[in-house]
Amino acid sequence: MSQLISIAVPVYNEEKNIPVFWHKLNEIILSKITAYQWEVIFINDGSRDKTIEELEKLSKIDARIRIIDFSRNFGKEVALTAGLNHCRGDACLMVDADLQHPLEKIPEFLEKWEAGFEVIVGVREKNKGEGLVKRIGSYFFYKIINSIAETKITSKATDFRLLDRIVIDEFNKLPEKNRMTRALIDWLGFRRAYVHFNANPRLHGKASYSLWKLFRLAFNSFISFSLFPLRLAGYLGIIITLLSGALGLFILITKYILGTMSFSGSVILAVIILFLIGIVLICLGLIALYIANIHTEVTNRPLYIIRKSKVRI
Ligand code: UDP
Ligand code: MG
């Protein structure tokens, strides 16, 4: 039997894109590459337009289509997770429905998979029609997260990815709720290869990932992949305590011992308060370290991931 490839497509208000997407997918991939069996899983992420009707129409004419219909909008990260949870393929490819991910590149993903790579990541070279704010935002996001996070996250790496079954199985074991699919896959490791592509402009509709949603996602990833924000209070406290301590000492010596300079009462009071604030912040930092410990325990990620080769077991 030939191998089964799953394609997971999260859709949110994509009624206009779905027929075009399906037509193109069928034309240049499904009907062309017959060496594999295919299943296409659409995850309807609580769309408020006719997306589900379009999907049901398609699934009636093609048995390879499966639909997961969310009761409300849970976000793309969760939709992708559902796709990975439910796919049955020997590999699963994740694609956006707005044709921003060029379907022509799919054979390249499959070639690399056949060559033994387990995670094949689509890397976006150019993104036509993306605003300056988003581009600058993503630049800084990757700069910051890579300098503070324990896991390296490839910049420009997109969700356009193919995962081998062994990676999907490990991914499905990860228990955390607040998640960024891409970063979790990066955390898992495995043999990876990259496919470079130029993103097309969105076909119909507008990107539903608003800046605010992206900001929240970015902020969540800082928190779940790095303990640095937690330690920040402590660092700040150390700096303030040292500086105000030195200043206090300076005042003490010049005013009371040398008697060369005099300082008003409010200056002295300010320095004392600063010193105390520093100490409070240090204590916060200490508490943060304990919270950090609780955080890693609660996240409950496995300590290590073993590559179970199909041959070795
Ligand atoms: N999407 C989703 N749930 C959401 C937002 C988006 O399933 O809450 C889907 C959307 O239908 C599309 C993909 O995720 O297939 C990428 O979304 P979008 O084009 O809005 O984001 P961007 O291209 O900016 O990454
Ligand atoms: Mg898009």
Ligand with smallest separation from the Cα of 12 = 1
* Same domain? 166 vs 61: yes
**Is 159's C-beta closer than 6 angstroms to any atom of ligand 1?**
no
Task: Give residue for tokens 């496919």.
Answer: 195
Q: Which residues contact 75 (CB under 8 A, 6 or more apart)?
A: 45, 213
Read off the pLDDT band of 288 (50, 70, 90). confident
* Same domain? 135 vs 168: yes
Structure tokens at 287: 């508490």
Q: What's the CA gap between 268 and 244, in Å, rounded?
A: 10
Assess if residue 304 is contained within a domain: no
Residue 113 is predicted with a pLDDT of 92
For the cut 60, the answer to whether the pLDDT of residue 125 exceeds it is yes
Q: Which of 170, 198, 225 is the last residue of a domain?
A: 225
Residue 130 is predicted with a pLDDT of 64
Residue 294 is predicted with a pLDDT of 85
State the distance from the centre of ligand 1 to the C-alpha of 98, rounded, in angstroms: 8
**Is 97's C-beta closer than 6 angstroms to any atom of ligand 1?**
yes
Q: Which of 225, 246, 276 is the last residue of a domain?
A: 225
Assess if residue 312 is contained within a domain: no
**Is 100's C-beta closer than 6 angstroms to any atom of ligand 1?**
yes
Residue 255 is predicted with a pLDDT of 81
**Is 122's C-beta closer than 6 angstroms to any atom of ligand 1?**
no
For the cut 70, the answer to whether the pLDDT of residue 92 exceeds it is yes
Q: 48 or 175: whose pLDDT is higher?
A: 48
- Split into its structural domains, the chain has a count of 2
Atom nearest to 97 CA in ligand 1: 15
CA distances from 19 to 5, 41, 297 (A): 21, 14, 45
Assess if residue 307 is contained within a domain: no
* Same domain? 260 vs 118: no
Assess if residue 310 is contained within a domain: no
Assess if residue 117 is contained within a domain: yes
Residue 110 is predicted with a pLDDT of 93
Least confident of 11-20, 43-52, 144-153, 274-283: 144-153
Q: Which of 225, 243, 270 is the last residue of a domain?
A: 225
Read off the pLDDT band of 165 (50, 70, 90). very high
One-letter identity of residue 164: D
CA distances from 39 to 5, 111, 133 (A): 6, 18, 37
Read off the pLDDT band of 226 (50, 70, 90). confident
Read off the pLDDT band of 127 (50, 70, 90). low
**Is 11's C-beta closer than 6 angstroms to any atom of ligand 1?**
yes
* Same domain? 274 vs 147: no
Atom nearest to 98 CA in ligand 1: 15
pLDDT per residue as tens digits for the range 5-39: 999 999 999 888 999 999 999 888 888 888 899 99
For the cut 90, the answer to whether the pLDDT of residue 289 exceeds it is no
Q: Which residues contact 2 (CB under 8 A, 6 or more apart)?
A: 35, 36, 37
* Same domain? 238 vs 122: no
* Same domain? 162 vs 293: no
Q: Which domain range does residue 283 map to?
A: 228-299
Beta strands in 144-227 (DSSP E): 157-164, 192-199
Read off the pLDDT band of 309 (50, 70, 90). low
Residue 308 is predicted with a pLDDT of 66
CA distances from 252 to 19, 272, 275, 277, 279 (A): 78, 12, 14, 19, 19
Atom nearest to 75 CA in ligand 1: 8
Read off the pLDDT band of 274 (50, 70, 90). very high
For the cut 80, the answer to whether the pLDDT of residue 114 exceeds it is yes
Q: Which residues contact 33 (CB under 8 A, 6 or more apart)?
A: 106, 107, 110
Task: Give residue for tokens 């303030």.
Answer: 240
Rounded mean pLDDT of 150-177? 83
* Same domain? 30 vs 64: yes
Rounded mean pLDDT of 70-85? 91
Rounded mean pLDDT of 134-150? 75
Residue 150 is predicted with a pLDDT of 64
**C-beta neighbour count of 254 within 10 angstroms:** 14
**Is 135's C-beta closer than 6 angstroms to any atom of ligand 1?**
no
Residue 272 is predicted with a pLDDT of 92
For the cut 70, the answer to whether the pLDDT of residue 50 exceeds it is yes
Rounded mean pLDDT of 99-127? 88
Mean pLDDT of the chain: 84
Write down the pTM of the prediction: 0.72
Q: Can you say how many angstroms the Cα of residue 270 is from the centroid of all Cα atoms in its chain?
A: 44
Read off the pLDDT band of 311 (50, 70, 90). low
